[in-house]
Structure 1
Amino acid sequence: MDIQHLKYFVEVARQRNFTKASQILLVSQPSISKMIKSLEDELKVTLLDRSERQIKLTDAGAVVYEQAIKILQSVEDVYDSVNELVQVKKGTIKLGLMPTTGVLLFPNVLAGFKKEYPQIDFQMVEYSAKQLAIKVEQGDLDLGITVLPVNPKLFDAIPLLSEELVVLAHNEHWLAERESVRLSELKNESFILLTEDYALHDVVKQACMQSGFQPTVAFKSSLWDLIGEMVTAKLGISLIPWSMVSRFNHRNVHAISISDPLIEWELVLIYRKNKYLSFAARTFIEYIRLHMF
């Protein structure tokens, strides 16, 4: 048994298909099949159930898969550790951001960091909060900028920003005459929310339920601008972070504070626990700790 055996086996298990695994690994399908058969012969067990169209792990296969993931991660950590020694103050950080929040929070921070560490580069991608957590957990991203709650068993989280949610309503809506409102007063309103992919969707629904009502959701969207347009069209109200209000200033909308309960939107930097972090990622974490407080 060697690392290559385990690598091929893990990829086939992930893809549940020899052909897809061979395309990802850039290795011929017969070679992969031979490697896995050799592994099965060595362990004297069947690892893959090939009887169905989609390959499944046997009970023994599931055990080997779990251990193989740990072994491959350990090997990757060895290479990363050596690479850190060779390339001090160099590297690439794979950073995930939520749409808009990166623009609101990070330009100055990133500019300052790049000035101090010019040889550390960023690969930045946008995902919803829930997708970001998954990508960080799977190791596709080193760090993620997301919102609470996150699983404390999986992630370490560094607080970045905490702000209140406010109600966004059309200027002709009865709320526009109010400076503040209790959330329970909105039980008969139509809500325009982000889709379930976004943590804010769950935050709003949970707050409404704790205030004694199930919100009536008229529309859902993954686009902030579309939500603003629907509020402008008098199709409902929305709850948004205070920092987002300026985005809608040109529209006929008004922001109203929520007096009870206080609904906080907490932005955090997350990284996976018990996973090796490169010099570059650790340096950025320390930079954030020093400059965000």
Structure 2
Amino acid sequence: MDLKQLEYMIKIAEENNITKASEKLFITQSALNQQLLKLEKELGTQLFVRSRNNWHLTQAGKIYVESAKNMLRIKKDTYNQIHDIIEIKEGHLVIGLTPERGIEMFAAIYPIFYKKYPKVKIDLVELPVKKQQVEILQGNIDIGFLTLQEFQKTNDKYIHLCNENIILGVPYTHPLAHLGGRFGDPLPEISLKLLENDSFAVMQKGSTLRDIFNHLIIEENVSPHILLETRSCHTLFEMVAQGICCAVFPITYAKPDSAVSYFSINQHPVWEVAASYKKDSYLSHAAKYLISVATDYWLEKVR
């Protein structure tokens, strides 16, 4: 079986368009179409329903593409195992990162990884947690670095890196600010019930942090005013530091010498920083090393 042919069919399915697929594969559309027609003739059935702008898989096509992905995963796992046995420090890793802090982490740890594995090619994919989990399940991401809670875990594998406290920040001008703590000090507890009339900046719907915030306010039976929704925890912190509103955010975003008073929330919410990979897939030595370096990074951040 021609493994290139498997890659070609998967790419057409991903792009839903043979023209776009040929561009991504760096081959001509004519050559790619010939490969498809040859395969369909061999199988005795069409793999795609063709239309001008949207190709989609037939039932036979779905079976073929799913099997093709499995075969390519088996090939990759086999090569990784053999390379590890004979200590060839080469390969290819697709790494999933959460937007914003994921790339910050990678920029910090990659120089360490590169010194040991300079010939391992890495592709970075920035996606929210739930979308990463879909890509991991489908075998498109080798390792995903995620922040999540226990109930959000799928049946894939998870390696614990650290736990991170979720805290409340209020501006210095807030009436309760004098009861709060400074960065690095033990933080006094507070109930969000006391801030039910305040405005909050929150993460966008669907994010792990937004789910945590929603759970907290449901528990307290409060509905604070949502002033701003964002995709950035840095923005959450800055809204508090600028005296605009309150926010709930991970403790690693807190800064010293800022105009923010910090509280521990009485439910003591935390989320887990974890590395995830597909169940039953092989984790190469390079992948394990990258995870160990990431663990050191996060333990230093939350210390």
Give TM-score scaled by structure 2 length: 0.78
Quote the offset at 1:35 in angstroms. Answer: 1.7
Please name the residue that 1:22 is paired with: 22
Please name the residue that 2:32 is paired with: 32
Please name the residue that 1:151 is paired with: 153
Please name the residue that 2:183 is paired with: none
Is 1:237 paired with 2:239?
A: no
Unmatched tracts of structure 2, length 5 or more: 180-187
Please name the residue that 2:46 is paired with: 46
Other structure's SS at 2:176 match: helix
Quote the offset at 1:74 in angstroms. Answer: 1.8
With over 3 angstroms needed to count, the CA separation of the structure-2 counterparts of 1:162 and 1:250, relative to structure 1, is same
Quote the offset at 1:120 in angstroms. Answer: 7.3
Other structure's SS at 2:271 match: strand
Q: Per-residue CA shift, 1:193-245, capped at 9, x if unaligned?
A: 12346421222122222332345321022333432332234432100122322
Please name the residue that 1:79 is paired with: 79
With over 3 angstroms needed to count, the CA separation of the structure-2 counterparts of 1:141 and 1:10, relative to structure 1, is closer
Q: Are the counterparts in 2 of residues 188 and 216 from structure 1 also a CA contact under 8 Å?
A: yes
Please name the residue that 1:280 is paired with: 286
Q: Aligned ranges for residues 176-187 of structure 1 at < 5 Å?
A: 176-178=177-179, 179-187=188-196
Quote the offset at 1:45 in angstroms. Answer: 1.7
Q: Are the counterparts in 1 of residues 147 and 273 from structure 2 also a CA contact under 8 Å?
A: yes
Please name the residue that 1:228 is paired with: 237
Please name the residue that 1:258 is paired with: 265
Is 1:200 paired with 2:202?
A: no
Q: How many equivalent residue pairs? A: 287
Partners of 1:34 and 1:124 in 2: CA distance = 29
Q: Aligned ranges for residues 96-115 of structure 1 at < 5 Å?
A: 96-98=96-98, 99-100=100-101
Partners of 2:213 and 2:257 in 1: CA distance = 25
With over 3 angstroms needed to count, the CA separation of the structure-2 counterparts of 1:189 and 1:80, relative to structure 1, is same
Other structure's SS at 2:235 match: helix
Partners of 1:114 and 1:76 in 2: CA distance = 21
One-letter code aligned to 1:213: V
Partners of 1:170 and 1:67 in 2: CA distance = 55
Quote the offset at 1:285 in angstroms. Answer: 4.3
Q: Are the counterparts in 2 of residues 93 and 122 from structure 1 also a CA contact under 8 Å?
A: yes
% identity of equivalent residues:
24
Partners of 2:162 and 2:251 in 1: CA distance = 11
Please name the residue that 1:166 is paired with: 167
